[in-house]
């Protein structure tokens, strides 16, 4: 029983890593759908979110069962409570990718993103995917050093977000209010995605060191 308990803990961790892959893929596909006004890709992301939600529910249940049956203490207990918190972040990241896909779908066949800000979204998509890929490696290896480095990558997303607002507020933004609303919400979705990736990394720091991470995204 003890052996299968260890195996179950390992397996839950593998599930979290697989979820980072699924969420990264959703984000990458959503960004392509957005930039190419590709409604087929957008629909794929929208439909795929159900799977991510199901994995989250399954991980939650398995963690609960482990707590009830094995009554773990110390680092095992921390691993389980951390997993329960981490799936919450990952599921939310899936939602945010879905929100981006929905904007692409809503504006189709027009592109939701005007030419001027395409490079910013291309880079935001790249940074988002890179953050969640690193978060996956951090979970897999319990890599505290890499977790602490992730904050710097998040700063890059904040800079992109600021750049986006500068574009929107430049004198010659010719795309009107509707487009400004889209861009504002899209910017927020990418930013929140990055915040959750940082939050995942901070949870690994807590898991390994026992020190509680600060909440991510406490800043606007």
Residues that bind a second copy (CB under 8 A): 49, 53, 56-57, 60-61, 64, 67-68, 71, 73-74, 77-78, 81, 84-85, 88, 91, 95, 98-99, 102-103, 165, 168-169, 173, 177-178, 180-181, 184-185, 188, 212, 214-215, 217-218, 220
* Closer residue to a second copy in complex, CB, 119/217: 217
CB 27 within 8 A of CB 93: yes
DSSP character for 72?
Answer: -
* Closer residue to a second copy in complex, CB, 145/168: 168
Q: Min. distance of Cβ 53 from a second copy in angstroms?
A: 6
SS3 for 128-177 is HHHHHHHHHHHHHHCCHHHHHHHHHHHHHHHHHHHHHHHHHHCCCCCCHH
What CA–CA distance (Å, rounded) separates 58 from 65?
11
Q: Residue 59 has which token pair?
A: 């991980």
Q: Min. distance of Cβ 75 from a second copy in angstroms?
A: 11
What CA–CA distance (Å, rounded) separates 186 from 113?
9
Helices 39-70, 2-36: crossing angle, 10 deg rounding:
160
Q: Min. distance of Cβ 218 from a second copy in angstroms?
A: 6
* Closer residue to a second copy in complex, CB, 146/168: 168
* Closer residue to a second copy in complex, CB, 141/159: 159
CB 105 within 8 A of CB 39: yes
Q: Min. distance of Cβ 98 from a second copy in angstroms?
A: 7
* Closer residue to a second copy in complex, CB, 77/148: 77
């Amino acid at each position: 029983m003890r052996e299968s308990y260890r195996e179950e803990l390992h397996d839950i961790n593998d599930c979290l890593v697989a979820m980072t892959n699924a969420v990264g893929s959703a984000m990458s596909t959503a960004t392509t759908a957005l930039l190419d006004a590709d409604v087929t890709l957008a629909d794929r992301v929208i439909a795929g979110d159900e799977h991510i939600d199901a994995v989250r529910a399954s991980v939650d249940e398995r963690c609960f069962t482990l707590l009830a049956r094995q009554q773990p203490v110390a680092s095992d207990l921390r691993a389980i409570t951390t997993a329960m918190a981490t799936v919450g972040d990952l599921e939310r990241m899936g939602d945010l990718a879905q929100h981006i896909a929905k904007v692409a779908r809503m504006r189709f066949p027009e592109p939701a993103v005007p030419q001027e800000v395409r490079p910013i979204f291309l880079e935001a998509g790249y940074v988002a995917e890179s953050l969640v890929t690193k978060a996956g490696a951090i979970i897999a290896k319990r890599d505290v050093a890499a977790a602490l480095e992730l904050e710097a990558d998040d700063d890059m997303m904040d800079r992109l977000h600021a750049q986006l607002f500068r574009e929107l507020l430049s004198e010659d933004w010719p795309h009107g209010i509707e487009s400004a609303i889209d861009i504002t919400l899209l910017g927020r979705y990418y930013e929140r995605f990055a915040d959750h990736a940082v939050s995942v990394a901070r949870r690994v720091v807590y898991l390994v060191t026992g020190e509680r991470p600060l909440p991510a995204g406490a800043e606007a």
